[in-house]
Amino acid sequence: MNTRTAIITGANAGLGLECARALLAEDPSWHLVFAVRDVRRGTDAVAQTGQPQRCTVLELDLASLQSVRAFAGKLRAASLPPVHAIVCNAGLQVVSGTELTADGVEMTFGVNHLGHYALVREVLDVLAHPARIVIVASGTHDPAKFTGMPKPNYTTAEHLAHPDESDSPDGRRRYTTSKLCNVLYAYELDRRLGGGAEGITVNAFDPGLMPGSGLARDYSRIGQLAWRYVFPVLRVLPNVNSTRASGARLAALVSDPRFAGVTGTYFEGEHPIRSSADSYDRAKARDLWETSERLLTLQSAEHQD
């Protein structure tokens, strides 16, 4: 019997879908909300789980703050079990130039961070206690690790949201910086929620390198072929995983009793580890939070006008 709901962004494919499969297989109490940009693809993904009666598909475009608000309204109107988990999983890389969200924010920052910030803000009041929030980050946020990606460059959140026109767009660096934002946000959200004192835990999760995932969809043709056919050979190396394996580990952070009460922690798979030095910078975390809040307030005011 379904007694609790988990929201998973980007649940129609890859890590999100594998997390959903694992939750459905391991715990009959969960009902899942597939929060997806494309409802048709979300419906197809639900059919793949073989348990459509335990899933609800709701439209969510993280590149539109108006869509985030609409999603929260639909969630409240739906007759679902109490929400006990949010998995902020959806993400993208834009490597071919600069793209903007519907709100005029640089796309990688807008989707990977700001859209999820807005989502949690909008649904925080409907969370039942205890609840878990898991934010999917990446080991690429840490320049001390060899990932083959450029190191993050956190200047200010305002600059990340609205880069100068003179800036040379570096999509891969924007991605790693957005993943640093994910960890900064996870820690700051946990602090503002009292470190679990209010019954809500917040953790960040590194799924590892997952060859075959959809993150390379904006790469060149050669890059996509390497991502799909060459990188899978690297699975013998540490922290290179299939989406199924990482999805099961993500599901464990959402549901496994071992992690009850664990909060403010960065996980590589199921192992708690230290994140990057910058991720513990409270000034950066505060700047990110306050700028995100201001961007949401500005968009809301523009929408009302």
Query: pLDDT, tens digit, for every residue of 89-131?
Result: 999 999 888 999 999 999 999 999 999 999 999 999 999 999 9
Q: What are the residue ranges spanned by the domains of the chain?
A: 4-304
- Percent over 90 (pLDDT), the chain: 81
Q: Could you say which DSSP state residue 304 is in? A: H
- Percent over 70 (pLDDT), the chain: 89
Single-letter code of the amino acid located at 187: Y
Q: What is the C-alpha separation between 181 and 188, in angstroms, rounded? A: 10
Contact 263, 195 (CB under 8 A): yes
pLDDT tops 90 at residue 167: no
Q: Model pTM greater than 0.75?
A: yes
Residue found under tokens 């959903």: 20
Q: Could you say which DSSP state residue 81 is in? A: P
pLDDT tops 80 at residue 249: yes
Note the pLDDT of residue 221: 56
Average model confidence (pLDDT) across the chain = 91
Query: Which fold does the domain 4-304 belong to in CATH?
Result: Rossmann fold (3.40.50)
How many beta carbons lie within 10 A of that of residue 203, not counting itself? 22
pLDDT, one tens digit per residue, over 52-73 is 999 999 999 999 999 999 999 9
Closest CA to 202 of 277, 142, 145, 285: 285
pLDDT, one tens digit per residue, over 122-140 is 999 999 999 999 999 999 9
Q: What is the C-alpha separation between 132 and 129, in angstroms, rounded? A: 9
Q: What is the C-alpha separation between 93 and 187, in angstroms, rounded? A: 23
Contact 216, 224 (CB under 8 A): yes
